Amino acid sequence: MTISKQLKAAAAASVLAMGGLALATGAPALAHNHKEKPAKAQANIVQTASGTGVHETLVAAVQAADLADTLSSPGPFTVFAPTDDAFAALPAGTVDSLLLPENKHQLQDILKYHVVAGRVAASALSAAITRSGGSYSFETVAGETLTASFSSDNNIVITDGANRKSTVTMADVKTTNGVIHVTNGVFLPG
């Protein structure tokens, strides 16, 4: 069994142990409660990602990089969270190589490239793109820059340092310590 599969299995076991808490917090508000304030999310970023069913590789990588405690702390953080399919689209062997102990610092740098300090809602990011004339650059906690723009169908697209584009496929997943924007690609520095 590869390291990646072992880590995925461990991540899946932790999700089962949580008893679905993270999934329960992501339910939309019912229409008859539209005047009430939404309930606060009960799960942090790591717990929420663990419960989605599409972020097993990301959670395994966060654990292997020893960043789970940081991303479970009060933050707040904004995380651009690649799906398992996004990781699978990387060249063969990339994920397994990054999960090796000797590549821990490189893995940490890549994961930090997906994190922004503060809680950045999609509406704020969209407004910044518009104010900046269609393209807005911002710094990640890795000290690297990402650039946000709109696709032809008005989705938010993030361009990394290697000029690869990833689309935000789900925005504003609220957590107790920030927000998650799901992406269909992994960001890599140039």
Q: Inform me whether the pLDDT recorded for 38 exceeds 90.
A: no
Q: Residues 15-43: what's their mean pLDDT?
A: 39
* pLDDT the model gives residue 75: 87
Q: Summarize pLDDT for 131-187 with one digit per residue, the tens.
A: 999 999 999 999 999 999 999 999 999 999 999 999 999 999 999 999 999 999 999
* pLDDT the model gives residue 25: 31
- And the tokens for 167? 């689309």
* pLDDT the model gives residue 3: 36
pLDDT band, residue 65 (cuts 50/70/90) = very high
- Which helix (H) or strand (E) segment holds residue 174: the answer is strand 165-175
* pLDDT the model gives residue 190: 78
Q: Inform me whether the pLDDT recorded for 26 exceeds 60.
A: no
Q: Residues 107-130: what's their mean pLDDT?
A: 95
Q: Is 9 helix (H, G, I), strand (E, B) or coil?
A: helix
Quick one: what percent of the chain has pLDDT higher than 90? 73
For every residue of 112-151, DSSP letters joined together read HTTEEES---HHHHHHHHHHTTSEEEEE-TTS-EEEEEE-
